[in-house]
Amino acid sequence: MTYENIIVETREKVGFIRLNRPQALNALNSALLADLAGALEAFDKDNDIGAIVITGSEKAFAAGADIKEMQTLAFADAYLGDYFSEWERVTRLRKPLIAAVAGYALGGGCELAMMCDFIIAADTAKFGQPEITLGVMPGMGGSQRLTRSVGKSKAMDLCLTGRMMDAAEAERCGLVSRVVPAADLVAEAVKAAAKIASFSLPVVMMTKETVNRAYETTLSEGLRFERRVFHSMFALEDQKEGMAAFAEKRAPSFKNR
């Protein structure tokens, strides 16, 4: 499958996607969304893929939703077409998704990064929700995911002033899991994804599902869910293999069953 707005590669068990609209700093238009969601869903269904990395260019992960595509949008069309709801396809993936962010991750770019399971940032990364400067507000999850990720004060600051924060501030406030030198970004993200892909795939997927529960439910329901899923793992051959390998002082060989 060839795509116009993204570059798709497989690196052993890692699905790798590079956003590729350099002329618009990877601004997220409908065509890019169709490409990205299609490629992600194909990786999600592929039994040989264990984790996925999305990255952009050195200058921009993505400078936002495509302003030129949006500027003449009428309310009725936005409402009837449920504009931006298609982006939820990214959040329906069951395999882990890592955002590797260098340069600008603004507006929808920051929101796309936050749809991923975690963000690894280059020291050049700049995050922001500048929609207010355009006469709108975040529309792809920013007001909700940023607030849950970094807390009310920082989220209000970013959404109301439209300012950018650098990678160090993003790491301090917990938006990103780690910051690496820009030159190492893709290698580090692929290494993390390869590590994840070396584990039992059903266990990886259940772990993602369970951590995500923390955002969707109460603590007591989340803890019950965790226990039930944890118990169910003892039905997997991979649990027997993982623990036998530890006891026998050898590397495990997971069968994904």
Contact residues: ligand HXC, CB under 6 A: 24-25, 27, 63-68, 104, 106-108, 130-131, 134, 136, 138-140
Report the residue number, 139 or 202, with the smaller CB distance to ligand HXC: 139
Q: Which is nearer to ligand HXC, 43 or 127 (CB)?
A: 127
β-pairing, 6-11 with 14-19? antiparallel
User: Which residue out of 24, 51, 128, 131 is catalytically annotated?
Assistant: 131
Smallest separation (angstroms) from ligand HXC to the CB of 130: 4
Judge whether 131 counts as a catalytic residue: yes
Residue from 27, 111, 122, 197 carrying the catalytic annotation = 111
Beta strands in 28-108 (DSSP E): 51-55, 60-62, 97-101, 104-106
Cβ 60 to ligand HXC shortest distance, Å: 6
Question: Checking DSSP bridges between strand 118-122 and strand 97-101, what pairing results, if any?
Answer: parallel
- Active site (annotated) includes residue 111: yes
Residue with CB nearest ligand HXC?
Answer: 107
Start-to-end CA span in the chain (Å): 29
* Of 56 and 138, CB closest to ligand HXC: 138
CB of 109 to ligand HXC, least distance (A): 7
Gap between the Cα atoms of 47 and 97, Å rounded: 15
Whether the CB-CB separation of 106 and 113 falls below 8 Å is answered with no
**3-state secondary structure at position 83:** coil
Specify whether 109 is catalytic.
no
From 50, 64, 103, 108, the catalytic residue:
108
If we measure between CA atoms, which residue out of 64, 212, 225, 239 comes closest to residue 142? 64
How far apart are CB 186 and ligand HXC at their closest, in Å? Answer: 21
Which CB sits closer to ligand HXC, 80 or 219?
Answer: 80
Complex with ligand HXC: residue 104 or 254, whichever CB lies closer: 104
The least distance separating ligand HXC from the CB of residue 187, rounded to whole angstroms, comes to: 25
Q: Which two tokens stand for residue 13?
A: 């068990």
- Angle, helices 201-216 vs 219-232, to 10°: value is 170
Tokens for 19?
Answer: 């956003």
Residue count of the chain:
257
Q: Is 41 a catalytic residue?
A: no
**Considering 39, 60, 63, 65, which one is annotated as catalytic?**
65
- Residues annotated as part of the active site: 65, 108, 111, 131
